[in-house]
Amino acid sequence: MAGNHAQNLLVDADDTLWENNIYFERVIAAVQKMLRPIGATPEEFRARLDQAERRHIVTHGYGTENFTRSLVMTFEGFLPAGAAPDQTVKVRELGLGIMNHPMEILDGVPETLEYLSVRHKLFLVTKGNPDEQSRKIEESRLGSYFSGIEILSEKNAAAFHALVQKHSWEHDRTWMIGNSPRSDINPAISAGIRAVYIPHPHTWALEHEEPVQHPLMMELERFSDLRHHF
């Protein structure tokens, strides 16, 4: 589909190149279990947590520290008066502990990036806390495959428009590759560039959105399938 000409391939990071959201889900499950003895249902806790994260993202952005802030505040909202403070300390440690989790690169990613990088221009385009994302990129040892790295505060149509202008990319030769309809696929299409949707079974709930059905978008089952199209 890409033709014989070199393309600009913009590649998402979290849950596209490496595992990310599963660590957050495990922490959430552990906190939900802690609240069961006082009668708090997992569904109620998750609903309040999602609401807290939506509020805090506006002012604090993304990242593990900001997730932990929402996690602790939501947890404390369920505790009865006089609850022991050590429970809150444990929840905070669980949240921040995500940053110490070893990197898990998804199957086929290094080989596919190596294959693509000699044929096309690759750019890593992620969002989140700059320090945290930079650390993950360094630990992944995948940065050398990319001609450039962009760490954005948000991935929306305006951000993609700005990137296209900054790099002088041709719209019909530029593709956003990622797992999130909300942050990768739909805004890229809105900005007039192409998109490759690679679903991940554990994409963050706040990234859920129906991917637009559009001639500029294709869906693949796994990252390594990119080698059949580019």
DSSP class of 181: I
Q: In the prediction, which pLDDT does 151 show?
A: 97
Q: In the prediction, which pLDDT does 44 show?
A: 94
User: What is the Cα–Cα distance from 8 to 224, expressed in whole angstroms?
Assistant: 17
Structural domains of the chain, ranges and CATH numbers in brackets: 8-18+104-228 (3.40.50.1000), 21-100 (1.10.150.240)
Residue type, 185: I
User: What is the Cα–Cα distance from 72 to 142, expressed in whole angstroms?
Assistant: 33
Q: In the prediction, which pLDDT does 127 show?
A: 93
CB 143 within 8 A of CB 164: no
Whole-model pTM: value is 0.91
Q: In the prediction, which pLDDT does 58 show?
A: 86
Q: In the prediction, which pLDDT does 1 show?
A: 47
pLDDT tens digit at each of 230 positions of the chain? 454 589 999 999 999 999 999 999 999 999 999 999 888 899 999 999 999 999 988 888 889 999 999 999 999 999 887 777 889 999 999 999 999 989 999 999 999 999 999 999 999 999 999 999 999 999 999 999 999 999 999 999 999 999 999 999 999 999 999 999 989 999 999 999 999 999 998 887 767 666 667 888 999 999 999 999 99
User: What is the Cα–Cα distance from 218 to 1, expressed in whole angstroms?
Assistant: 10
For 91, counting Cβ atoms within 10 Å of its Cβ (0-12 exposed, 13-18 middle, 19+ buried), the class is buried
What are the Cα distances from residue 124, in Å, to 94, 151, 178, 191?
29, 8, 11, 18
